């Protein structure tokens, strides 16, 4: 695993020890950023279920100015912090040990809206539609923002969840990636 492109291109990233997390492969990560970017001029992001932090770190390397990383696993939090330090992104990041639902409530209280949200929950505990609904209801996505959902290819997501529309879906073997944006009224 490494940073694919941008200011920190080529820096290796540590994986979370053990088998509790499944890192996004470099191939899938590159495909995701080709769909949503590939580069950005600023923006704030949320990497929920951060794992090693690979998606959020890639967004920072490609131009996001700030990223919030959330994971409930302590080993994941330690790995994210280590990877952020290796990439010199600690000052642009906030890292929290929390579950997804509580984290969304906390950012809603801060009245934050994100330009990019990365959702990559454990495939066996799929709860993406509920999270997407909560993100929409709490207005956590900026007007022109995007949400990246990574999940098992045997699952599907609704094409419309509240005001969020699925604008693109790609399948990579056992992995499916869907991109959501706000629908234009």
Domain ranges of the chain: 26-182
Residue 34 has pLDDT above 90, yes or no: yes
- Count the alpha carbons within 13 Å of 113 in the hemisphere toward its beta carbon: 10
Region 54-73 average pLDDT: 97
Give the pLDDT score at 132. 95
pLDDT at 23 (0 to 100): 72
Please state which CATH number belongs to domain 26-182: 3.40.50.150
pTM of the model: 0.94
pLDDT digits (tens, 9 = 90+) for 129-165: 999 999 999 999 999 999 999 998 999 999 999 999 9
As a whole number of angstroms, the distance between CA 46 and CA 67 comes to: 6
- pLDDT, mean of residues 8-26: 85
Q: Are 39 and 70 in contact (CB under 8 A)?
A: no
Kindly indicate the confidence band of residue 18, based on its pLDDT and cuts at 50, 70 and 90. confident
With beta carbons less than 8 A apart as the criterion, state whether 49 and 68 touch: no
pLDDT at 125 over 70: no
**Among positive and negative, which fits the CA dihedral 66, 72, 75, 76?**
negative
């Amino acid at each position: 695993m490494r940073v694919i492109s941008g200011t920190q291109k080529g820096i290796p990233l540590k994986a979370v020890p053990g088998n509790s997390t499944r890192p996004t492969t470099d191939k899938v990560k590159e495909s995701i950023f080709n769909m949503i970017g590939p580069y950005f001029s600023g923006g704030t992001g949320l990497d929920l279920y951060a794992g090693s932090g690979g998606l959020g770190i890639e967004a920072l390397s490609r131009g996001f100015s700030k990223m919030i990383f959330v994971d409930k696993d302590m080993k994941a939090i330690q790995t994210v912090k280590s990877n952020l330090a290796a990439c010199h992104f600690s000052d642009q990041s906030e890292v929290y040990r929390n579950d997804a639902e509580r984290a969304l409530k906390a950012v809603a209280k801060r009245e934050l809206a994100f330009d990019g949200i990365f959702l990559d929950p454990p495939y066996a505990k799929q709860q993406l539609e509920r999270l997407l609904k909560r993100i929409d209801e709490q207005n956590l996505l900026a007007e022109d923002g995007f949400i990246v959902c990574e999940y098992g290819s045997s699952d599907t997501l609704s094409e419309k969840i509240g005001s969020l529309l699925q604008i693109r879906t790609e399948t990579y073997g056992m992995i499916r990636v869907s991109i959501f944006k706000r629908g234009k009224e």
